Each structure stands twice: as structure tokens, then as C-alpha cells.
């Protein structure tokens, strides 16, 4: 026992001696690791941190060659712009609703697939629902624009007319009342299949003995789903919601490929607001656009910290 204690003491003393060495000496001794890390470090600095120097332009008026200091004027104009607040509200509503619907649909489909007894059918269904995820939003928008077209080539309108449901074609994507439901359905069709990956992994980890015990007790299939399957998914659902809630402001492509000027009030989000201010204005003020981006990043960071605290409460550890 004394020999083990002596070895442990020598190891502790050796670690302390190593930590007392100069930083330059420790770096030199581990130079191979630092050389391997150096390209990644340089890449991160150039791609992620170098552009952050442009934050200073949020305090400037930047119109072509006319660049001068304006202080907080850009932020005053931003907070006084009704269109910005409408875009901010739309961003939260569209992102959070899309997140909840996609998560709910992914959970239901995961449970449905998990309950399928035929392995070949299960793999076939999984493959089919995964495929839309690998299509770009531009392709998805083109497909649904064609399906929902009010012209004679529109499959949905022509089918509804044939069934006698409607007499006149409906312009789905140019109707304020219909644009959001269609947006949610398109996103569910595209992303729900991929969202089932996490939930199916969780379901595969459930102890089979729980189902066997339920069978012995005479539980029906629905009772096993209710009292075993859904409770097992509870923690995963909360984690998925928390992790995705931090990204609710990062919405651009799904909206950009589907929105138009007639539904701008219900579809314009912060990213498309910045795009319009930057690229669709005769003389854009890049300083103002930078101020909007800085505000968006600040709110996003606040959401990330809030989600990190929520993760600590739920999982016992943070996400950052």
C-alpha cells in the first residue's frame, strides 16, 4: 500500500513540476500539437473574427464614398422604423411556430416508424421522408410554386376545380391569409424527416424489458406508447427545442425563396429586411444595415445565453 502511495505522490509532484515550467517551454515541448492546430486557428480568425471589425460601421453613415461618423443615429432610426419591428415580430412568430410544428411532427413520425414491425417497410419510409432534406430551398420553392400556381398548370387548383371544391383558382402564395400556413407545411415536408433522426436514436435506446414488462401486465400498444415511448422522448424534445431556440433569428433562405411584395407584411423577416435595405435601395446605407445586423447578433447572443441557462436546468450542463 505504501508503494502505491509513493508512486501517487511522485506523480503528483511530477505534474506540479511540469506546471511550473515556463509557458514558452511547455509550448515548445508540445510544438507538434500547436502546429497541427495553427491552420484551424488562422482559418477561424479570418472567417469568423476578422469580419467582426466591420461592426464599427454601424456607427457610421456609409453611402458609396460618403463615410462619416453618426454615433447612435443608425440605431435611433432602426428603433423608430415600424417596418423593422414588423420584421422582428415576423421573425419570432415564423421561427418559433416552425420549430414547434417541425418538432411535433418529427416526434409523431418517429413513434410511427418505431412501431412498424416490418423492417423493410421501416427503412423504406425512413428513406422517403429523409429525401426532401437534401433538396435546396430554391428547388423546393420551384416545385411548390408550380403545384400551387393559379394557372392551368397548377396541380392543386386544377384538382380542387375538378372535385368541385372551388370555381376560381386561388393564388396561394400571394394571399396573406394563406402564405404562413403554406410556409409551415412546406418546411414540415422538407425538414421533418431529418428531425426524426435524433428521436429515432432515442427510441432505439429504450430498454426492451420495459415493453416486455408492459406486455406481461396486459398493456395495449397505445398504452405502451403513452406510458413508455413518449416519456422516454421527453428530455430529448426539451433539449432539441432549447438548442434550436437560440437560432430563431437566423432565418433567410426559406422565406426569401417564397415571399413576395404582396405578402410582405406577414413574411418579411430581419434577414430579408437587411437584404432589401442593402441591395434593393438605390443608394443603400451600409452603416444602417450593419446596425441592424449588430442588433440581430446581440439579441441572438442573449437568446443563446438564456438557452444555455435553460439547458443547465434541464440537462445539468450548458450547451456552451
Label residue 43 by pLDDT band (50, 70, 90): very high
Give me Rg for the CA atoms of the chain: 27
Q: Looking at the domain assignment, is residue 7 inside a domain?
A: yes
What string of H, E and C letters represents the secondary structure of the chain?
Answer: CHHHHHHHHHHHHHHHHHHCCCHHHHHHHCHHHHHHHHHHHHHHHHHHHHHHHHHHHHHEEEECCEEEECCCHHHHHHHCCHHHHHHHHHHHHHHHHHHHHHHHHHHHHHHHHHCCCCHHHHHHHHHHHHHHHHCCHHHHHHHHHHHCCCCCCCHHHHHHHHCCCCCCCCCHHHCHHHHHHHHHHHHHHHHHHHHHHHHHHHHHCCCHHHHHHHHHCCCCHHHHHHHHHHHHHHHHHHHHHHHHHCCCCCCCHHHHCCCCHHHHHHHCCHHHHHHHHHHCCCCCCHHHHHHHHHHHHHHHHHHHHHHHHHHHHHHCCCCC
Q: What is the mean pLDDT of residues 50-66?
A: 88
Residue 272 and residue 259 in contact, taking contact as beta carbons nearer than 8 Å: yes
Same structural domain, 45 and 141: no
Over the stretch 102-130, which tens digit does the pLDDT of each residue have?
A: 999 999 999 888 888 788 888 888 888 98
Same structural domain, 283 and 222: yes
Q: How far is CA 89 from the centre of its chain?
A: 17
Lowest mean per-residue pLDDT among 16-20, 77-81, 153-157: 16-20
Q: Looking at the domain assignment, is residue 304 inside a domain?
A: yes
**Rounded CA gap, 239 and 255, in Å?**
25
Backbone angles phi, psi at 285, to 5 degrees: -105, 100
Domain that holds residue 169: 73-315
Same structural domain, 58 and 177: no
Same structural domain, 81 and 35: no
Q: Distances from the Cα of 115 to the Cαs of 112, 222, 224, in angstroms?
A: 5, 10, 10
pLDDT at 10 over 80: no
Residue 11: predicted pLDDT: 55
Label residue 4 by pLDDT band (50, 70, 90): low
Q: Looking at the domain assignment, is residue 68 inside a domain?
A: no
Residues 134-139: contacts with CB within 8 Å, 24+ apart?
135/190, 137/190, 137/253, 137/254, 137/257, 138/257
Nearest Cα residue to 245 out of 129, 91, 130? 91
CATH number, domain of 116, equals 1.10.3720.10
Final residue belonging to a domain, choices 63, 93, 110 = 63
Residue 290: all three cell numbers together: 450593419
- Would the CA dihedral through 188, 202, 127, 108 be positive or negative? negative
Residue 19: predicted pLDDT: 56
Cα maximum dimension of the chain:
94
Question: How many residues would you count in the chain?
Answer: 320
Q: What is the mean pLDDT of residues 58-70?
A: 88
Mean pLDDT of the chain: 86
Same structural domain, 29 and 174: no
Q: Looking at the domain assignment, is residue 320 inside a domain?
A: no
Same structural domain, 171 and 77: yes
Final residue belonging to a domain, choices 27, 45, 63 = 63
Residue 285: all three cell numbers together: 446605407
Residue 289 and residue 75 in contact, taking contact as beta carbons nearer than 8 Å: no
pTM for the full predicted model: 0.82
Same structural domain, 162 and 17: no
Burial class of residue 255, CB neighbours in 10 A (0-12, 13-18, 19+) = buried
Over the stretch 242-296, which tens digit does the pLDDT of each residue have?
A: 878 878 888 899 999 998 889 999 999 999 999 998 888 888 889 999 999 999 9
Label residue 52 by pLDDT band (50, 70, 90): confident
Domain count, the chain: 2
Q: Looking at the domain assignment, is residue 295 inside a domain?
A: yes
Residue 280: all three cell numbers together: 434593393
Amino acid at each position: 500500500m505504501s508503494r502505491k502511495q509513493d508512486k501517487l505522490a511522485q506523480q503528483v509532484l511530477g505534474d506540479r513540476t511540469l506546471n511550473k515550467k515556463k509557458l514558452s517551454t511547455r509550448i515548445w515541448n508540445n510544438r507538434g500539437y500547436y502546429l497541427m492546430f495553427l491552420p484551424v486557428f488562422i482559418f477561424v480568425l479570418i472567417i469568423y473574427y476578422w469580419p467582426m471589425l466591420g461592426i464599427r460601421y454601424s456607427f457610421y453613415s456609409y453611402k458609396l464614398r460618403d463615410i462619416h461618423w453618426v454615433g447612435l443615429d443608425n440605431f435611433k432610426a432602426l428603433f423608430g422604423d415600424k417596418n423593422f419591428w414588423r420584421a422582428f415580430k415576423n421573425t419570432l412568430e415564423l421561427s418559433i411556430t416552425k420549430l414547434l410544428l417541425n418538432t411535433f411532427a418529427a416526434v409523431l413520425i418517429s413513434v410511427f416508424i418505431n412501431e412498424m414491425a416490418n423492417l423493410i417497410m421501416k427503412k423504406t419510409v425512413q428513406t422517403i421522408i429523409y429525401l426532401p432534406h437534401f433538396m435546396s430551398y430554391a428547388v423546393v420553392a420551384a416545385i411548390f410554386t408550380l403545384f400551387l400556381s393559379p394557372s392551368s398548370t397548377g396541380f392543386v387548383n386544377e384538382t380542387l376545380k375538378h372535385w368541385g371544391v372551388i370555381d376560381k383558382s386561388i393564388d396561394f402564395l400571394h394571399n396573406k391569409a394563406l402564405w404562413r400556413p403554406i410556409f409551415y407545411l412546406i418546411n414540415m415536408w422538407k425538414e421533418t424527416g431529418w428531425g426524426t433522426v435524433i428521436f429515432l436514436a432515442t427510441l432505439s435506446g429504450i430498454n426492451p424489458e420495459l415493453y416486455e414488462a408492459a406486455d406481461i401486465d396486459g398493456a395495449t400498444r397505445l398504452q405502451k406508447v403513452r406510458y413508455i415511448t413518449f416519456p422516454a422522448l421527453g428530455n430529448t424534445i426539451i433539449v432539441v427545442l432549447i438548442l434550436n431556440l437560440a437560432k430563431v433569428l437566423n432565418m433567410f433562405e426559406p422565406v426569401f425563396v417564397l415571399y413576395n411584395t404582396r405578402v410582405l407584411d406577414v413574411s418579411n423577416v430581419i434577414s430579408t429586411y437587411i437584404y432589401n435595405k442593402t441591395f434593393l435601395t438605390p443608394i443603400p446605407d451600409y452603416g444602417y444595415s450593419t446596425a441592424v445586423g449588430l442588433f440581430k447578433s446581440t439579441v441572438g447572443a442573449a437568446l443563446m445565453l438564456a438557452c444555455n441557462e435553460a439547458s443547465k436546468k434541464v440537462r445539468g450542463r450548458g450547451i456552451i
